[in-house]
């Protein structure tokens, strides 16, 4: 991710951004360090919360894993907190730079760098603590949380500790013309004389990282789920939520975020009410804005599936919305959305001289139909 004035959490000296920017290409420098990890380290809310949790949890002499070590910052913090050994596991070649940093800080003897995907890593001993900055979209989205759970099941001592220990997900319905119009740009106009409204379905069934203000909320936020990483199913979350609007307006979608419990008394929040972090919030846009009144009811059937149950199964976010009004039942409006809808279908090419319905496109489209029917707004 590039750092811009829009997404930077720590600001650089005035004018720096206008004068210099990293070009994210494998041809120059180390893209992961120069872009993504620089961005992570610039987030002091995130990084200090993790270091604080490490200082609370890691005891001198303990054995620790830093899963997804990246720049090595958390492995360094574990060694500084007194860990006897830290296994820093990282699949990216950035690990070799992290190793140099450990040497430069005089901590190389206590950090063992393992350049591997954690799911294939073998450790020579059980560990007291696993720390991982594994937080993805709404905390759980992505593959890192299941990787942490996998490693914990294999190597964490029965009384071992995990950082983070739990993730709580929240959602609020929002009115925000700014975010809605950004997503709906495709159907709003013509591009150089061409109609690109066919892109709209993909855009509307996508997820956006966005910054929201609480003034955008149409109702009080609700908790979607509270997931204890060691004991819960971390690959699938679903919830049916009812929101009573606190004001009338136009429903433009939902704002989602997480709070991670890193250690007892140490919480990292990506709420719009908390100091900004790299995660900002997640915007789940609506395909169409829906009017709401104070006597309406906004019902949301939310699902997050990491797609890890069966090989080849796609992951998805699903948000099915219904706005009802008891006094006007005929005016019920509903929208069924899922990120799987954003995957473009193959177009059957029909030329004047021949029509082609390729085997491949039939297979792709029927697989997609199957997925949409089976994962859509089930009764869960």
Ligand X SMILES: C[S@@+](CC[C@H](N)C(=O)[O-])C[C@H]1O[C@@H](n2cnc3c(N)ncnc32)[C@H](O)[C@@H]1O
Please give the sequence-ordered ranges of beta strands (E in DSSP) within the chain, or none if there are none: 63-67, 85-90, 111-115, 127-131, 156-163, 166-174, 190-191, 194-195, 208-210, 222-228, 236-243, 249-263, 266-269, 281-292, 297-305, 316-324, 333-338
Question: How would DSSP label each residue in 203-250?
Answer: HHTS-EEE---GGGBSS--EEEEEEETTTS--SEEEEEEEE--SS-EE
The residues, any chain, with a CB within 8 Å of residue 303's CB and separated by 6 or more, are 236, 237, 238, 316, 317, 318, 319, 375, 380
Of 172, 148, 180, nearest to 306 by C-alpha is: 148
CB of 127 to ligand X, least distance (A): 15
Judged by beta carbon, residue 74 or residue 282, the one nearer ligand X is: 74
Spatial distance between the Cα atoms of 303 and 261, rounded to a whole number of angstroms: 22
Judged by beta carbon, residue 311 or residue 353, the one nearer ligand X is: 311
CB of 91 to ligand X, least distance (A): 4
CB of 92 to ligand X, least distance (A): 4
CB of 111 to ligand X, least distance (A): 13
Of 169, 132, 146, nearest to 281 by C-alpha is: 169
CB of 133 to ligand X, least distance (A): 3
Spatial distance between the Cα atoms of 209 and 257, rounded to a whole number of angstroms: 10
Judged by beta carbon, residue 70 or residue 272, the one nearer ligand X is: 70
Judged by beta carbon, residue 92 or residue 287, the one nearer ligand X is: 92
C-alpha dihedral (259, 261, 266, 270), degrees to nearest 10: -20
CB of 117 to ligand X, least distance (A): 4
Judged by beta carbon, residue 74 or residue 292, the one nearer ligand X is: 74
Judged by beta carbon, residue 73 or residue 340, the one nearer ligand X is: 73
Chain residues that interact with ligand X, rule: CB under 6 A: 40, 68-71, 73-74, 89-92, 117-119, 133, 144, 147
Judged by beta carbon, residue 40 or residue 293, the one nearer ligand X is: 40
Judged by beta carbon, residue 1 or residue 274, the one nearer ligand X is: 1
CB of 121 to ligand X, least distance (A): 7
Residue closest to ligand X (Cβ): 68
Judged by beta carbon, residue 67 or residue 338, the one nearer ligand X is: 67
46-84 b/e (C-beta count within 10 Å ≥ 16 → b) = bbebbbbbbebbbeeebbbbbbbbbbbbbbbbbbbbebe
Distances (CA, A) of 163 to 118, 124, 166, 258, 273: 16, 21, 8, 15, 23
Judged by beta carbon, residue 73 or residue 286, the one nearer ligand X is: 73
Spatial distance between the Cα atoms of 199 and 139, rounded to a whole number of angstroms: 28
CB of 62 to ligand X, least distance (A): 18
The residues, any chain, with a CB within 8 Å of residue 3's CB and separated by 6 or more, are 12, 17, 22, 35, 38, 39, 42
CB of 5 to ligand X, least distance (A): 22
CB of 125 to ligand X, least distance (A): 18
Spatial distance between the Cα atoms of 82 and 215, rounded to a whole number of angstroms: 45
């Amino acid at each position: 991710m590039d750092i811009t004035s829009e997404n930077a959490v720590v600001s650089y000296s005035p004018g720096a951004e206008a004068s210099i920017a990293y070009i994210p290409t494998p041809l120059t420098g180390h893209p992961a360090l120069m872009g993504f990890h620089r961005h992570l380290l610039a987030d002091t809310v995130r990084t200090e919360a993790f270091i604080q949790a490490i200082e609370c949890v890691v005891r001198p002499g303990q054995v620790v894993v830093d899963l997804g070590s990246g720049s090595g910052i958390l492995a360094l913090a574990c060694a500084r907190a007194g860990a006897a050994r830290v296994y820093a596991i990282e699949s990216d070649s950035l690990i070799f730079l992290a190793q140099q940093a450990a040497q430069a800080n005089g901590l190389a003897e206590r950090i063992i760098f393992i350049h591997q995907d954690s799911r294939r890593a073998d450790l020579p001993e059980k560990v007291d603590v696993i720390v991982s900055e594994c937080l993805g979209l709404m905390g759980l989205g992505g593959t890192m949380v299941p990787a942490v759970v996998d490693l914990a099941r294999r190597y964490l001592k029965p009384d071992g500790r995990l950082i983070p220990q739990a993730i709580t997900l929240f959602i609020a319905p929002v009115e925000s013309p700014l975010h809605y119009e950004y997503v709906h740009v495709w159907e709003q106009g013509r591009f150089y004389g061409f109609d690109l409204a066919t892109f709209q379905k993909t855009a509307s069934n996508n997820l956006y990282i966005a910054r929201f203000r609480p003034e955008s909320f149409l109702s009080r936020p609700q908790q979607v789920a509270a997931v204890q990483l060691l004991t819960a199913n971390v690959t699938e979350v679903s919830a049916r939520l009812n929101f009573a609007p606190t004001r009338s307006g136009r429903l433009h979608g939902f704002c989602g975020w997480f709070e991670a419990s890193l250690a007892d008394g140490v919480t990292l929040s990506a709420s719009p009410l908390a100091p900004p972090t790299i995660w900002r919030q997640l915007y789940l846009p609506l395909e169409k804005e829906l009017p709401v009144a104070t006597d309406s009811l906004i019902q949301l059937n939310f699902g997050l599936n990491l797609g890890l149950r069966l090989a080849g199964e796609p992951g998805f976010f699903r948000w099915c919305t219904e706005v009802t009004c008891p006094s006007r039942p005929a005016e019920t409006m509903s929208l069924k959305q899922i990120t799987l809808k954003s995957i473009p279908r193959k177009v059957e090419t029909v030329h004047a001289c021949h029509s082609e319905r390729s085997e491949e496109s039939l297979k792709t489209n029927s697989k997609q139909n199957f997925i949409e029917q089976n994962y859509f707004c089930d009764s869960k």
